[in-house]
Structure 1
Amino acid sequence: MNPNGSSVLHNRSFLRLWIARIFSTSAFQMLSVAIGWQMYALTDSAFQLGLVGLAQFLPMLLLTLPAGQTADRYDRRTIVYLCQLMEGVVVLLLVLGSMQGWLGSLHLLIAAAILGACRTFEGPASAALVPDIVDREQLPKAAAWSASAMQTAMIVGPSLGGVLVVWGTAAAYIASLAALLVSTVLIFFVKTVHFVKKLDAVNMDTFLSGLRFVFARKIILGTISLDLFAVLLGGATALLPIFAEDILKTGSLGLGLLRSAPAVGAIVVSLILTRYSVERAIGKTLFASLVVFALATILFGVSHNFWLSLFALFLIGASDVVSVVIRSTLVQVNTPQEMQGRVNAVNSLFIGTSNQLGEFESGTMAGLVGAVPATVIGGLGTLAISFIWMYWLFPVLRTQKTYTAEKG
C-alpha cells in the first residue's frame, strides 16, 4: 500500500461527481428499501422480492451493449444527467401512486424495470467519466474515493429509507426524488478534459468490440467473472426484509440498520484505501477478500442474534469493497480512453448480473428452502467459486502483482 499522491478531491469536477454519486446512490438505496418493503407488504412473498431484482436485470441484459456504444459516442456527462432526470420522473410517479393508493405489485415491477434501464445507460457513462476528469496515475485513488462515495450512500440511503418507511413509503420516495435532483444539478457542472469521442460507423464489429476486448484479457475477464458468480451466489441483500421481519424481528428500523451494516464496513476500508492504495499482491488480496466475504455470508445466515448479524454484514461490506476497488482499477487502467464506455458497459453487465440476478436467485432459493439455508448455501457457493477461479480457471489472477496486466 502506498500513501503518496495528492487527493483527487482537489479536482473540482471529480469532487462534484463524487458528491453526486453519494446523492444518486443514496436515492437508489432508499428506493430499494422502499420498493422491497412495499412489495413484501403487498404480497408477503419472497419470490416477489426476487422478481424486483429480475425486473432490474432484464433491461440491463438487453441494453448493456447499446449503452456502451452510447457512452463512447456522446458526452458522458449529458448521458448521466438525462438518465437521472428520467429516474426522477419514475420516482415522482411512485410518490403519487403511494399517496393516492393505486400502486400495486405490477406497478412496482414496471418501475423497477424502467429504473434498471436508466441505470444501464447511466452506469457505463458514469464509470467512464472518472478517466475523463482525472489523470491516469490517480485512478487507483479515484477508484477508492468512488467506492467510499458508494458506501457512504449505502449507509445513509438504507438507514434513511428504513426510518422513512415508518411514515409511509411515499416519504422514502420523496426523499429519493430530492436526492436525485441534487445529483443532476451537480452532474450538470462537471467538466471533462480527456474525453475521446468515438465516431466509427456502428456495425456488428464495433457493437461487440467491448466484449472482445474483455474476453481477450484474462485478468479483466477473470476479475469481473469472479465477481459475477461469487456475488451472485453470496448476495443475501434481497433477503434482508425476511431476516428483519421473520428471523431477527427488528421491523423496518432494523431493516435499515441491516442494510447499512455492509456499507459501514465498506466505507471504513475504502477510506483507508484512499490513503494506502493496494499496489502489490493484487491477486492474493482479491482472493483473501472473497474468502472473508464467503465466510461472513455463512455467519450471517446462521446468526439469530441481531448484533452478530450486524457484525457479519460489516465484514461482508469490508471485504467486498477491496474487490470493488481492485476490479474497477484494473478495468480503467487497462482500457484505452476511447473504449472506456463499451468496456465499462460489459463490466456493468457483470456487476448488475451479480446484484440484480443474485437477488432473484436468493429470493427463489429462499422460497424453496427458506432464507437461512439459502444464505448458507450461497456463502458455500461463493467459497467454492473463489477456489475454482483462483486455482483452476484463472490461476494467473492469483499471482497477479500489479494493476498492469499483460494482454492475451
Structure 2
Amino acid sequence: MANQLDPYAALRYKEFNIFLLARFAMVFAWSMQFIVIEWQVYSMTKDPWSLGIIGLMEVIPAVSTALFAGHIVDQKEKRNLLVKCILGFSVISLGLFCLSEPTLVADFSTTTVLYSIYFLVFLGGVVRAFLGPTIFSLIALIVPKKIYPNAATWSSTTWQMASVLGPALAGFSISWIGVHWSMCLIFGFSLIAMICVLRISRKPIMNPKIGEPVLQSLREGLQFVFRSKAVFGALTLDMIAVLFGGAVALLPIFAQDILQVGAEGFGVLRAAPAVGAAITMIGSTRFPVHKNAGKKLLWAVFGFGVSIIVFGFSTSFWLSVFALFASGALDGVSMVIRQTILQLKTPDHMRGRVASVNSMFVGSSNELGAFESGATAKLMGTVTAVVFGGCMTLLTVGVTAFASPTFRKLDLQKDVEEHESSE
C-alpha cells in the first residue's frame, strides 16, 4: 500500500478524495461568504471599526464554545456531526442571501440590516466551533496512521486552494452579479459539500470514555495541550502571528481607499496569500518539512512578519500583491508543520478536544486579529496598524526562539518513522 515517501499516499483512498471535495466546497463557500460580508458591511458603513466587529462577532462564540464543542466531537459519530455543521452553515447562508435582497429589506433601517448580519456571523462562529474539530477528527478515521502527515498536507492544501478561489471569485462576483447573487452562489456550494459528506460512511467512535463528565473531559484536553511542548509552542507562535499579522481584514480599505483598485483588485489582493500558501503546500507533499520542524516554523513566521510590513508600506498594487503572496507562502509552511505536529502528537480519543484548543489558539485568532486590525486602524490609521502588526510578529518570533530552545530544536522525523512502523 501507499507509504510515507509516496506524495499521493492519502489520495489512494476513495473516501479521502470525497472528503477533500467536501472540504473544498465548504471552505470555498465560507471564505467567499466572509469576503462578501466584509465588502457589503464596509460599503454600508465606510468605517474600519465595522470590519473589526465582524471578526469579534465570530470569535466570541468560537472561543466560548470551543472546548465544549471538542468534548461533543469526541463523544459523537463524526460523519453525522459534519452533516449537521454544514446544514447550520447553509441556513446562515440563506439568511444572508435574504438580507442582501433590497426588496426584502426595504422597510428595514441600515442599522437593523447591519445588526442582522452581525447576528448571523455570530451563529456562524458557533457552527465553526464544531466544524474544525469534526474535520480534524474525521481525517484520522478515513486514512491509516502511517500516512497522517501526507493526509494533513493534502487537507491543508485543499483548504488553501479553496481559500484562493473563494475570495478571488467573491471579488469578481460582487462586480459581475452583485452581493445578492454572490450569496446565492455561496449557498449552492454548501449544498455540494452536503452531498459529498453524505457519501462518506459513518465512522466508529474511538473514545473509550463515552459519557465522561464534561468538566473532567475538558480538563484532560487542556492538560494534554499545555504539557506537550511541541503542540503548545506551535499553537502559541501561530496564534500571536495571526493575531498581529491580520492585515487581510483591512483589505477592503486598501482596495477602496489606498490602492483604489475596486472590487476586482480586492479579489486579487484577497486571493494572493492563499495562492502562495497553496503552492507551498503542494510542494510540501514532495518535500516534507518534518526535519528541523522547529527552526523552519520560526523562520517561516519571521518571513511572514516581514511580508506584512512590506505590504503595509506599499503604495503599488503589484508590490502589495507580491507581499501578500509571500506572506501566504510562508504561512503555508507554518500551517503544514502545525497540522503535522497535531496529527502525530494527538491520541485518537482526544482529537476533538485538541482540535478545539487549536481553534481557540489559531482558528479564532483570525477573527480576533480582524478585530485587532479594525481597532488599531481606527486608533492609529490603517497603514500604521498593519506595520505595527508585522513588527509584533517579528518580536514574537524572537522571544519564542530565545525562551524555548526545546521548541527551536523540534524534529518530527522520529515521530513519522514510529507511525510508519506501527502499521
The verdict on a shared fold, with TM-score over 0.5 as the criterion, is: yes
Residue in 2 that maps onto 1:350: 361
Residue in 1 that maps onto 2:127: 118
Picking from 212, 222, 242, the partner of 1:211 is 222
Does the CA contact (< 8 Å) of 1:258 and 1:310 recur in 2? yes
Matches within 5 A, 1:180-259: 180-191=190-201, 195-197=205-207, 198-259=209-270
Picking from 10, 13, 16, the partner of 1:11 is 13
CA distance in 1, matches of 2:371, 2:170: 21
- Segments of structure 2 that go 5 or more residues without pairing to the other structure are 416-423
Residue in 1 that maps onto 2:62: 60
Picking from 37, 49, 52, the partner of 2:39 is 37
Residue in 2 that maps onto 1:261: 272
- Residue type at the aligned position of 1:326: I
- Residue type at the aligned position of 2:379: L
Residue in 2 that maps onto 1:146: 155
CA distance in 1, matches of 2:195, 2:266: 31
Q: Do residues 162 (structure 1) and 168 (structure 2) align? A: no
The percent identity for this pair of structures is 36
Picking from 283, 287, 294, the partner of 1:276 is 287
Residue in 1 that maps onto 2:418: none
Q: Choose 112-121 or 395-404, whichever is displaced more.
A: 395-404
CA distance in 2, matches of 1:93, 1:145: 32
Return the offset for 1:352.
2.3
CA distance in 2, matches of 1:381, 1:300: 15
Residue in 1 that maps onto 2:302: 291
Return the offset for 1:7.
2.4
Does the CA contact (< 8 Å) of 1:279 and 1:403 recur in 2? yes
TM-score w.r.t. the length of structure 2 is 0.92
Secondary structure at 2:206 match in 1 = coil
Return the offset for 1:200.
3.8
Map Cα deviations across residues 286-317 of structure 1 (whole Å, 9 max, x no partner): 01111110100001000010001000010011
Residue in 2 that maps onto 1:338: 349
CA distance in 2, matches of 1:5, 1:249: 42
Map Cα deviations across residues 242-287 of structure 1 (whole Å, 9 max, x no partner): 0000111011111111110001111111111122211211111101
Does the CA contact (< 8 Å) of 2:94 and 2:184 recur in 1? yes
- Residue type at the aligned position of 1:329: T
Return the offset for 1:4.
3.7
Q: Do residues 134 (structure 1) and 143 (structure 2) align? A: yes
Residue in 1 that maps onto 2:26: 24
Map Cα deviations across residues 224-245 of structure 1 (whole Å, 9 max, x no partner): 0111111101111110000000
- Segments of structure 1 that go 5 or more residues without pairing to the other structure are none
Does the CA contact (< 8 Å) of 1:155 and 1:264 recur in 2? yes
Matches within 5 A, 1:64-103: 64-99=66-101, 100-101=104-105, 102=108
CA distance in 1, matches of 2:238, 2:157: 19
Matches within 5 A, 1:323-334: 323-334=334-345
Residue in 1 that maps onto 2:419: none
Secondary structure at 1:377 match in 2 = helix
Does the CA contact (< 8 Å) of 2:7 and 2:285 recur in 1? no
CA distance in 1, matches of 2:71, 2:203: 20
Map Cα deviations across residues 212-235 of structure 1 (whole Å, 9 max, x no partner): 110011111011011111110111
Picking from 31, 34, 46, the partner of 2:48 is 46
Return the offset for 1:201.
2.2
Q: Do residues 378 (structure 1) and 394 (structure 2) align? A: no
Map Cα deviations across residues 194-217 of structure 1 (whole Å, 9 max, x no partner): 641340422422122111110011
Does the CA contact (< 8 Å) of 2:290 and 2:337 recur in 1? no
Return the offset for 1:191.
3.0
Secondary structure at 1:275 match in 2 = coil
Secondary structure at 2:212 match in 1 = coil
TM-score w.r.t. the length of structure 1 is 0.96
Q: Choose 119-128 or 102-111, whichever is displaced more.
A: 102-111
- Residue type at the aligned position of 2:14: R
Residue in 2 that maps onto 1:175: 185
Map Cα deviations across residues 65-118 of structure 1 (whole Å, 9 max, x no partner): 111011111111111111111111111111112112347210111011011110
Does the CA contact (< 8 Å) of 1:366 and 1:373 recur in 2? yes
Does the CA contact (< 8 Å) of 1:239 and 1:363 recur in 2? yes
Aligned residues: 403
CA distance in 1, matches of 2:400, 2:321: 29
Q: Could you say what the CA RMSD is over the residues aligned between the two structures, in angstroms? A: 1.5
CA distance in 2, matches of 1:404, 1:379: 34
- Residue type at the aligned position of 1:58: I
CA distance in 1, matches of 2:91, 2:217: 33
Does the CA contact (< 8 Å) of 1:158 and 1:259 recur in 2? yes
Does the CA contact (< 8 Å) of 2:78 and 2:203 recur in 1? no
CA distance in 2, matches of 1:355, 1:6: 30
